[in-house]
Amino acid sequence: MMTLSRSSALQEVDGINTMNLSCLLCYQASPTPVCHWCESDIFFFSPLIHGSNLLGYGPVASHVKHSHYDGLSLLGLHTWPMATLVHQFKFTHSLVSGKVLSHWFVHNKRHCTMSKPDLLLPVPISAWRLAHRHYNQATVIAKHLSKALSIPYFTGWARRKGFGSQHQLTKAARATHAAQVFELSKKGLDQMISITKQKALTVAIVDDVLTTGVTVNTLSKMLKARYPHINIQVWAMTFTPPPKSTLMLETPLTDKL
Ligand SMILES: [Zn+2]
């Protein structure tokens, strides 16, 4: 059976008008939202090369907090041009960019051997940010992934308080900050846990960018404290590599895998 490339798979995305488009990144005419030249410059993680669970892959695992979750899936590196796509999605209301990222993520999941989660949990943003942005980017991604992979998503599991952003904080400060700003909602996953009490519930916390891992680790710690038997994966679109990461030396993968 012929394997669809990421580009041709994108043409199948319903709701994306693939005719007469220009590339979201270079603005050249392209039948797909991101042209194949730009796509070939993107670093994609591959389950076949880097492993299905990136917590087993040193160049990623050694740089992210992961003491309270069990699995990690990432689409690619948060470097040019992928970082531009994420930026457009978060800050310029380019919902098509979010759809493209989600669709690539699903495409990459074909070779992943980690167990399929029962539930997707988008990382919450504050009410203040939601009022300004009008959408939670993690929820938009979770909705696309939910539809494509037939996994329900649940937004009411946790809440983010306050106004602050984590961008300027050190890793240690982020940990303290995250523990203060997030809280599980009152009933949390109680209903889901009671429905699936025959087996351990597996969830995937969904976010756009993974930098230090502190946010998702803090949320995982809270979930495990309340639901000790839960399995937690983290699914993020991009990973911000630390300076001088060996990942920066790798050549982008082609789609011939
Ligand atoms: Zn392009």
Cα separation, 94 vs 48, in Å, equals: 31
Cα angle, residue 185 at apex, residues 213 and 196 outer, rounded to 5°: 85
Write out 40-65 in H/E/C secondary structure. Answer: HCCCECCHHHHCCCHHHCHHHHCCCC
CATH number for 45-249 (one of 1.10.3210, 3.30.110, 3.40.50, 3.30.700): it is: 3.40.50
Cα angle, residue 171 at apex, residues 102 and 239 outer, rounded to 5°: 25
- Tell me the average pLDDT across 129-155: 95
Q: Across the chain, what does the average pLDDT equal?
A: 87
Q: CATH 3.40.50 residue ranges in the chain?
A: 45-249
Per-residue pLDDT, 190: 84
Dihedral of CA atoms 130, 124, 172, 243 in degrees, nearest 10, equals: -80
Whole-number Å distance, alpha carbon 18 to ligand 1 midpoint, is 14
Whole-number Å distance, alpha carbon 127 to ligand 1 midpoint, is 34
Whole-number Å distance, alpha carbon 256 to ligand 1 midpoint, is 19
Chain centroid, CA 34 distance in Å: 19
Cα separation, 74 vs 140, in Å, equals: 17
Dihedral of CA atoms 108, 112, 115, 117 in degrees, nearest 10, equals: -10
Give the H/E segment covering residue 121: strand 119-122
Whole-number Å distance, alpha carbon 100 to ligand 1 midpoint, is 13
Whole-number Å distance, alpha carbon 34 to ligand 1 midpoint, is 5
Whole-number Å distance, alpha carbon 44 to ligand 1 midpoint, is 16
237 CB neighbour count, 10 Å cutoff: 27
Whole-number Å distance, alpha carbon 6 to ligand 1 midpoint, is 14
Classified as helix, coil or strand, 207 is strand
Q: How confident is the model at residue 199 (pLDDT cuts 50, 70, 90)?
A: confident
Whole-number Å distance, alpha carbon 253 to ligand 1 midpoint, is 17
Tokens representing residue 199 in the block: 């087996």
Whole-number Å distance, alpha carbon 38 to ligand 1 midpoint, is 4
Could you read off the pLDDT of 214-235 as tens digits, one per residue? 999 999 999 999 999 999 999 9
Per-residue pLDDT, 165: 64
Going from the C-alpha of 156 to that of each of 24, 54, 96, 219, the distances in angstroms are: 32, 27, 25, 13
Whole-number Å distance, alpha carbon 27 to ligand 1 midpoint, is 6
Q: How confident is the model at residue 4 (pLDDT cuts 50, 70, 90)?
A: low
Per-residue pLDDT, 113: 94
Give the start-end residues of each E strand in 54-97.
71-77
Whole-number Å distance, alpha carbon 110 to ligand 1 midpoint, is 25
Whole-number Å distance, alpha carbon 128 to ligand 1 midpoint, is 34
Whole-number Å distance, alpha carbon 39 to ligand 1 midpoint, is 7
Q: Would the CA dihedral through 238, 48, 69, 63 be positive or negative?
A: negative
Of the two residues 76 and 161, the one the predictor is more confident about is: 76
Whole-number Å distance, alpha carbon 218 to ligand 1 midpoint, is 37
Instruction: Record the pTM.
Output: 0.88
